Structure 1
Amino acid sequence: MAKQPMLRFVDIARDMPEKRPPDLRRTDFGEIYGEFAREKAGEQAGRCSQCGVPYCQSHCPLHNNIPDWLRLTAEGRLREAYEIAQATNTFPEICGRICPQDRLCEGNCVIEQSGHGTVTIGAVEKYITDTAWDEGWVAPITIAGERPESVGIIGAGPGGLACADMLRRAGVQVTVYDRHDRAGGLMTYGIPGFKLEKDVVMRRNRQLEEGGVTFRLNCDVGRDISFDEIRARHDAVLIATGVYKSRDLQAPGVGAGGIVRAIDFLTASNRKSFGDEVPEFDSGELNAAGKRVVVIGGGDTAMDCVRTSVRQGALSVKCLYRRDRANMPGSQREVANAEEEGVEFVWLSSPKGFAGDTVEGVMVQKMRLGQPDATGRQVPEIIEGADYVEEADLVIKALGFEPEPLPRLWNVEGLEVTRWGTVLADFRTHETSLPGVYACGDIQRGASLVVWAIRDGREAAEAILARFAGQAAIAAE
């Protein structure tokens, strides 16, 4: 391929990979975006302005060297582009699919600020890594030499797996403990296939297993094995459990049948896609087919729920959010995709209660935005006398997640937590109050993004390796 010049954002418009038509994508859980052709990827990468101070890179949690791999893609040097992309990111093909680029790299692109439309960074990242897998450039994990140190990682989500990858490549013996029957955490059971097809995650799991990482699945710490036993088995331990405790509503009728948690709804749907037996889905309890669905919440989990409901054949899908579109925490790109697929957003609305022993409707109170609070966000205020009932057969609570009380669940003393219940750990070394015990991802920082968990996991691996190096130096004296 001939070398393509950069700085072409003036004469070449922003262009995303072709999106499958809404009527078609509503019928299955396949990813909605197609793949760039080689020429189109190079053309779009060539729009990069090669900033002296690349804000895309500085606003990426992993500080990926985005301008360099865009330039290499524009020049047709895809293998080199992949090598640079994977040097800072353990799972670039996953981040290319699910990162909210509109809030991170693309949202801070200089040419976006100048009115020319951001570079399609996420789509190019996905293309580079998918090409690398297809061409066999993604090498198996190779070990220069086995080391005697052993690390136990509790949680097989993105943070735990990123740490496992780095430690194993350094020759450390790694065992990952997870309560589920498949590794991947929310990437496997929380995020729907239309955003992240599951073979993409399973492929990485296989790479880790073939590289020598030991997985102990269906292993619930505190029940099947104690935390103290894990500490005794390993030279260091990483807590990477994520946060799975759903925030709840306090409203009359909230315990009615047909009111379910988002994590249960999404897990059932994803298990069904694997071909698992899911009695709660087959009975209709966690199945939106033929129902009037109301989802409560405005984050990315709520977007996953409304779009999953559409694909399951819901009669109607509405999303209640107490603020307006401009103030919702979820990705605006996901909102647009949901609207294309037939989801109705009911802004400035909050549940007041629920009607029926088995839910028949949501009592909704209308809101307006008042004065900003300490964070700068306008506070929703109730509009008196504007209540109404939204008919519903299935209500999904997507109000976010909180940490489980690990010290109590695991019967461990000395593990300090914050006032929010997250594990207290240094944000550079990730070491907790217990020597040799580390924490990363959502259980340390609260519910956040996959890309932040990957960063935390990589940092924790570096800190653990530094600990082992220091211990070796002391022993050699």
Structure 2
Amino acid sequence: MAKQAMLKFVNVARDMPEKRAPDLRRGDFNEIYGEFAAAKAGEQSGRCSQCGVPYCQSHCPLHNNIPDWLRMTAEGRLQEAYEISQATNTFPEICGRICPQDRLCEGNCVIEQSGHGTVTIGAVEKYITDTAFEEGWVQPITNGGERSESVGIIGAGPGGLACADMLRRAGVQVTVYDRYDRGGGLMTYGIPGFKLEKDVVMKRMAQLEEGGVTFRLNCDVGRDITFEEIRENHDAVLIATGVYKTRDLQAPGVGAAGIVRAIDFLTASNRKSFGDPVEDFDNGKLNAEGKKVVVIGGGDTAMDCVRTAIRQGATSVKCLYRRDRDNMPGSQREVSNAEEEGVEFVWLSAPKGFKGDSVEGVIVQKMRLGAPDATGRQVPELIEGSDYVEEADLVIKALGFEPEELPKLWGVEGLEVTRWGTVLADFQTHETSLPGVYACGDIQRGASLVVWAIRDGREAAQAILAQLAGGAAMAAE
């Protein structure tokens, strides 16, 4: 029976859940992919070759037991599939939606390398956990007994929440401090609903609250509470703030009205999806409706911006990127989705300046790719005399994020940072230069993926539990 359920990749083609037509999905912020039906999820899971060396698993930052839960799904054992998936991943339904599987698990699938088309791992992962929520298999957070030790976590993004989940399951008292009015970090306010509908994140927030995690929201460390107060109140502290400082442009006219940061644009749009009043959206400052929009950047944040602008009713949306399509950092799948929805990509182009006190256009300079640099990537070179003006009413800067200067912002002495401004911490234990203080996620590794933050948060939880156990042993002696 088990053999018949697997190894179907020779005669069953790769298939994804149905994608809504571009003219339909442009009109709303709902997710663009439908759900697998049970039969289709089982069929696609059965394409897994159950290879002896699962590269999908080794190239997943969480080392998820992918072949095992694919096999359970193929055999109709969905609850077991969920339990295996949840054992290594705190938020599998989120990773199934937003991980760049084409660069991670699916991109390293053995049958993909043999020419049969990768297993649709992300879609099956999403299906398993969505089904688990529907069927009531997602259990409340419980522990074997409450402990007196407490941990303060600064930041309610994926790293902080993954750590909170593991600590509560061990009975530790957990308080999460976050500057925003809702938890979830960029999963809530940075990623648009068409990639991650917000009720998916809020379900996990509710599970954590019901499991005993205390959230202090609208709490800005350094203003509403000091870092030292948090240290005094807890046995250990985790810094999981993420990185929110926007990389900026240095170009003539960059201060013109109508040139905005990606994080502001995306946050305003996501707040509107919650029904919040957003003055800068309602007055048009952060609203693309009826405007010619130019987005500068080539990463996943830029893709989120162009696709959001389309849905807001922009008259045109263009994305400037200084390299070509093959060299852009964003997901190729996202680029294809954006093109289907009407986004125009202007490759080998970079902004030289901006026209108008209220922006009227971007002065664009054309580029070509020259010799590779030390990393092996070809360096963009300016083509002299190729400048032209791209009309624009709204320009969105999506150039990536950098860490805030936490020691200065929080008035902390002894917290060491790297030359990039990230918190210096061990990449296994996540211990910083301050005793009892840990760091994880983007504030440690720089702007990265949600799945890496989840891994870091889980590792930090294990290190913190070891520290607390060591302290308890010393107290007993």
* Bucket of the pairwise TM-score, normalised by the shorter protein: over 0.9
* AA partner of residue 391 (structure 2): E
Specify the code of the residue in structure 1 equivalent to 2:256: A
Report how far residue 4 of structure 1 moved.
Answer: 4.7
Counterpart residue number, 1:173: 173
> C-alpha deviations, 1:193-221, integer Å up to 9, x for none?
00000000001000000100000000000
Query: 2-side partners of 1:338 and 1:257: how far apart?
Result: 26
Q: 1:380 maps to what in 2?
A: 380
Instruction: With the length of structure 2 as denominator, give the TM-score of the two structures.
Output: 0.99
Query: Is 1:328–2:347 an aligned residue pair?
Result: no
The aligned amino acid for 2:195 is K
On the 8 A contact 1:240/1:443 being kept in 2, the answer is: yes
How many Å apart are 1:143 and its aligned residue? 1.9
Q: Is the 8 A contact 1:4 1:74 kept in 2?
A: no
Cα distance in 2 for partners of 1:454, 1:323 equals 31
Q: Which residue of 2 aligns with 1:405?
A: 405
Q: Deviations over 1:323-343 (max 9, x none)?
A: 000000000000000000000
**Structure 1: how far apart are the matches of 2:44 and 2:262?**
36
Mapped contact 1:3–1:75 kept (Cα < 8 A): no
SS in 2 for 1:175: strand
Question: 1:136-147, aligned counterparts within 5 Å?
Answer: 136-147=136-147
Runs of 4+ in 1 over 4 A off after TM superposition: 1-4
Name the structure 2 match of 1:430.
430
Checking the alignment, whether the CA contact within 8 Å between 1:163 and 1:458 is kept in structure 2 is yes
In 1, the alpha carbon distance for the partners of 2:31 and 2:273 equals: 13
Name the SS for the 1:419 alignment partner: coil
- Tell me the residue number matched to 1:152: 152
Q: Within 5 A, what are the aligned runs for 1:62-461?
A: 62-461=62-461
* 1:157-207: CA deviation from partner (whole Å, max 9, x where unpaired): 000000000001100000000000000000000000000000000010000
Structure 1 residue 471: deviation in Å? 1.3
Distance (whole Å) between structure 2 residues aligned to residue 175 and residue 416 of structure 1 = 24
Cα deviation digits, residues 333-388 of structure 1 (max 9, x gap)? 00000000000000000000000000000000000000000000000000111111
Residue 53 of structure 2 is aligned to residue 53 of structure 1: yes
Alignment partners' CA distance in 2, 1:5 and 1:275: 46
CA distance in structure 2 between the aligned counterparts of 1:36 and 1:4, rounded to whole angstroms = 21
Q: Aligned partners of 1:290 and 1:102: how far apart in 2?
A: 34
SS in 2 for 1:284: coil
**Offset, 1:470:** 1.1
Taking the aligned partners of 1:437 and 1:346, their CA distance within structure 2 comes to 45
Separation of aligned partners in 2, 1:435 and 1:4: 55
CA distance in 2, matches of 1:141, 1:421: 35
The alpha-carbon deviation at position 2 of structure 1 amounts to: 9.5
Deviations 1:97-133 (A, max 9, x none): 0000000000000111111110000000000000000
SS at match of 1:188: helix
Distance 1:312 1:79 in 2: 39
Percent same amino acid at aligned positions? 88
1:217 & 1:4 partners in 2: Cα distance? 51
Query: Alignment partner of 1:438: what SS?
Result: strand
For 1:421, the aligned partner's letter is G
Question: What's the secondary structure of 2:5's corresponding residue?
Answer: coil
Whole-angstrom CA distance in 2 between matches of 1:4 and 1:126: 24
What is the identity, as a one-letter code, of the residue corresponding to 2:171? Answer: G
- Residues 236-280 of structure 1 show CA distances to partners (whole Å, capped at 9, x for unaligned) of 000000000000000000000000000000000000000000000
Distance of 2:298 and 2:4 partners within structure 1: 41
Deviations 1:14-48 (A, max 9, x none): 00000000000000000000000000000000000
Distance 1:351 1:233 in 2: 48
Any unmatched runs of 5+ in structure 1?
Answer: none
| Separation of aligned partners in 1, 2:113 and 2:134 | 35
Instruction: Tell me: CA distance 1:96–1:317, structure 2 relative to 1, closer, same or farther (3 Å).
Output: same
Matches within 5 A, 1:6-45: 6-45=6-45
Asked if structure 2 preserves the Cα contact closer than 8 Å seen for 1:4 and 1:42, the reply is no
C-alpha displacement of 1:150: 0.3
Distance 2:84 2:143 in 1: 20
Report how far residue 79 of structure 1 moved: 0.4
Whole-Å separation in 2 of the counterparts to 1:433 and 1:182: 30
The offset of 1:5, in angstroms, is 2.0
Secondary structure of the 2:249 match is coil
Q: Return the alpha-carbon distance in structure 1 between the equivalents of residues 391 and 115 of structure 2.
A: 43
Paired AA for residue 40 in structure 1: K
Q: Once the two structures are superposed, what CA deviation does each residue of 1:282-335 show, in whole Å capped at 9, x if it has no partner?
A: 000000000000000000000000000000000000000000000000000000
1:173 alignment partner AA:
Q
> One-letter code of the match for 1:72?
M
Q: Which amino acid aligns with 2:260?
A: V
* Partner-residue secondary structure (3-state), 1:8: coil
How far off is 1:475 after superposition? Answer: 2.0
- 1:389-424 deviations in Å (ceiling 9; x for gaps): 000000000000000000000001000000000000
Supply the distance in 1 between the matched residues of 2:451 and 2:337 (Cα, whole angstroms).
22
* TM norm structure 1: 0.99
Whole-angstrom distance in 2 between the partners of 1:389 and 1:95: 40
CA RMSD after TM alignment: 0.9
Matched AA of 2:367: M
Separation (CA, whole Å) in 2 of partners of 1:91 and 1:238 = 19
Distance in 2 of aligned mates of 1:251 and 1:290: 26
Residues 243, 404 of structure 1: 8 Å contact kept? yes
